[in-house]
A = this chain, B = another copy of it.
Amino acid sequence: MAHSAITHDPIEPTEVLASLGSDEDGAVLLFLGTVRNHAEGRDVTGILYEAYQEMAEKELAAIAEEAAVRAGTPRVAVIHRLGELAVGEPSVAIGVASPHRAEAYDASRFVIEEIKKRLPVWKKERFVDGSADWTDGTRPQAAAPPARESAS
């Protein structure tokens, strides 16, 4: 089963890699999203990540399971961090291992794109002048038809 977590603890890339190992795999891919020192021309000193944690855990688990189908293996591990992060720190780690590289790249890319589309997480960028702003995001779409009955 794929692994996923929403955490306030620093992400340890080495642990993510170590969690994937299998002798069946010929390709291991680790993606780290890290806090950049600039955004749209402004100097950034850090980012505050906030989540609807209970829902984010559920969505991230679903994304990881969908990625595992793409990877053809259950060896998918996804961690998203919350709280105050400094420049250079990883906010997200995505590990995928697969017998073949095409599937590993596809599954890894799928996870980060889905996170950006539907994980209920927001970030407030802190700028060098002391100001802070919520970053523009993407409106998530409800799957249609909804799981429960509708009034329409």
Q: Which residues of A contact B (CB under 8 A)?
A: 13-14, 17, 21, 23-38, 87-88, 90, 99, 101, 104-105, 108-109, 112
Across-interface contacts of A23 in B (CB, < 8 A): 36-37, 87-88
Closest chain B residue to A86, Cβ basis: B23
Report whether A13 and B17 are in contact in the complex, using a CB–CB cutoff of 8 Å: yes
Q: Is the interface of A mostly helix, strand, loop or mixed?
A: mixed
A101 proximity list for chain B (CB < 8 A)? 31, 33, 112
**What separation, in Å, do the CA atoms of A38 and B100 have in the docked complex?**
12
Docked complex Cα distance between A36 and B26 (Å):
5
Q: How far apart are A40's CB and chain B's nearest CB, in angstroms?
A: 12
A24 neighbours in B (Cβ, 8 Å): 36-38
Which of A35, A36, A38 has the most chain B CB atoms inside 10 A of its CB?
A: A36
Q: Given that A32-B28, A88-B21 are known contacts, is A105 also in contact with B99, CB under 8 Å in the complex?
A: no
- Pair B26/A34 contact, Cβ less than 8 Å: yes
Contact status B31-A26, CB under 8 Å: no
Q: Which residues of B contact A31 (CB under 8 A)?
A: 27-29, 101, 104
A108–chain B nearest beta-carbon distance, Å: 8
Of all chain B residues, the one with the shortest Cβ separation from A17 is B13
Q: Which of B14, B25, B105 is A109 in contact with, Cβ under 8 Å?
A: B105
